[in-house]
Structure 1
Amino acid sequence: MDFTANIERFTGFADHYDQFRPSPPEALAGLVGQYLQMDQPRLVVDLGCGSGLSTRYWSGRAEAVVGVDPTEAMLNQARSLAMPCVQYRLGFSHATGLADESADIVTCSQSLHWMDPQPTFDEVARVLRTGGIFAAYDYDWPPVTTAPEVDVLYRECMENARKLEKAAGVSSEVRRWGKSGHLARMQESGCFRFVRECTLHHTDEGNADRIVGLLLSQGHVQTLLKAGFTESELRVDQLREIAGKRLGSHPQRWYWSSRVRLGVK
């Protein structure tokens, strides 16, 4: 399967992505560790690691961490922020080049929907040791801010961008699989002896600049900008104006919900 269009989709804004996207939920390591029954995993593999935001989370929580991604521009950003015991390698979720049964944990942070499911699960099962844990998680968008009208407008901007993307046909070659089907595909893969989904909650801080930054970190929004669409057509200027009035520049607490799909080998 050709993933060239997917790679292009995430090229050109790695630093922006790293600046505005949320980190993994704080409770994730404890949740996975409870199933793993291990205080500190020897190796965590982060598939679709992107800018390394989700990989750096494991620094200090694991003896070694390897981030894998097919987008060189994202890996360059990840490597620019060195962390102890963290390495990165160019590769795909279905072809990591890692040794058999070498990992205690394999994760996918907001990335599994870009991966061919069955080959990815087969690779995860190959790389995981017996009893190892696969954790694929995605945040609900947008976070809960202090201004409901901003949350609503953000959703409207996302939907508008999706409609423009479809009408323009700029992403016709992009490969993706619906997030709502992750759990069923894991259960049907034959790669895990136990599968379940749970929800974790997480807080961080944001302001008007960050909510606009989050919108501009979305792959379909960046694809449209590359194709020549204006911020006005994407309603970014409207979000910037309303968020500026309602959220301002002072950081305020935001609430995130993350859906975690767990598979035990």
Structure 2
Amino acid sequence: MNEHIRTSNIERFTGFSDLYNQNRPSAPQEVVKILTTYLQKRPQRIMDVGCGTGLSSFIWLDHADHITGVEPSDDMRAVALKRWQEQNEPSQLKFVEGLSHQLDAPSESVDIITCSQSFHWMEPESTLKEFARVLRPGGIFAAYDCDWPPAFNWEIEERYKQLIALADSRARQLAEQDKQAHKWNKSEHLQHIRESGLFRFSKEIVFHNWETCDATRYANIALSQGGLQTALKLGANELSSLFEDFRKEVENTFAGETREILFSYRMRMGIK
């Protein structure tokens, strides 16, 4: 990966870590159950790479002996460390600065590596080689992602998609060529795992999780999308009024109530 792409990908997540942490879904317990089932034992060491604010790291506290959250963004990692302190600094969990293709871990030392909403920001070839290096024989790599937007109301979902598509377009228009972030296609994750030749078994698993949500959170999930944040930072001021229109429509639809919304996940995994 070019250095300017790597830098742009990291900087994309600067400035909205609290918004991200407060509104994005925590990884559901199905992640732990699925991966522990395939590992066939309690994992000793977990690495959660591109862990952000730790939403996908804390779920392992009662299910693994050692958990390391790896995150290159100082903003995101600071929120993870704050959450860690608020939970009495559990000794089995730590957060470190790092990149997916340069992990600070001995070879064949890790049982499970996860990438929650993050693998598409990593150059797949060098990342998978590094993951295979640190995984033990029989160890598991799993990249899992939400389908956006969460399922709730078709009209709201359509407005959500239109807003984010416009924001992504404006971000591409406004960013200088050498400062544009680059993401790899999530639908090709499984193909990259298989074509690497580093894993003896690979599979895609789809699962779902219902969560309670109010209008504020639903609107803020859209606001926490990187494309919208990037476009706003680059001066696409017209998006602020469009977002406020979206927020009002969400509030009208929720009508002051807390509702159930459905997050759908796609996990692409490989077993070494």
Provide the TM-score with structure 2 as the length reference. 0.93
Q: CA deviation at 1:211?
A: 1.5
3-state SS of the aligned residue for 2:29?
coil
The CA deviation at 1:234 is 6.6
Residue in structure 2 matched with residue 159 of structure 1 by the alignment: 165
Which one of the candidate residues 92, 104, 110 is aligned to 1:97? 104
Partner of 1:53: helix, strand, or coil?
A: coil
2:93 to 72, 86, 90: 86
Higher helix share: 2
- The CA deviation at 1:210 is 1.0
Distance 2:114 2:256 in 1: 34
Of residues 132-141 and 206-215 in structure 1, the stretch that sits farther from structure 2 once superposed is: 206-215
- In the alignment, structure 1 residue 135 sits paired with structure 2 residue 142: yes
Asked whether the 8 Å contact 1:209–1:249 carries over to 2, the reply is no
Distance change (3 Å), C-alpha of 1:119 and 1:24: same
| Corresponding residue pairs, total | 263
Q: Could you say which residue in structure 1 is the equivalent of 2:206?
A: 199
**2:151 equivalent to 1:144:** yes
Q: How does 1:201-216 map to 2 (within 5 A)?
A: 201-216=208-223
Opposite residue 171 of structure 2, the aligned amino acid is E
Instruction: Name 2:69's counterpart in structure 1.
Output: 67
Cα-to-partner distance string for 1:148-193 (whole Å, 9 max, x where unaligned): 2111111111111122222324575313211111110110011111
Question: Which one of the candidate residues 219, 226, 229 is aligned to 1:219?
Answer: 226
| Change in CA separation of 1:234 and 1:90 when aligned onto 2, cut-off 3 Å | farther
> Which one of the candidate residues 160, 175, 186 is aligned to 2:182?
175
Residue matched to 1:121:
128
Alpha-carbon contact 2:232-2:239 (below 8 Å) kept:
no
Tell me the distance in 1 between the aligned counterparts of 2:122 and 2:63: 26
Partner of 2:15: 12
**Deviation at residue 248 of structure 1 after TM alignment:** 3.4
Matching residue of 1:111: 118
Q: Could you tell me which runs of 5 or more consecutive residues in structure 2 were left unpaired when the two chains were aligned.
A: none
Kept in 2, the 8 Å contact 1:170–1:223? The answer is: no
C-alpha separation in 1, matches of 2:192 and 2:239: 39
Q: What is the CA RMSD across the aligned residues, in angstroms? A: 1.5
| 8 Å contact kept, 1:232–1:238 | no
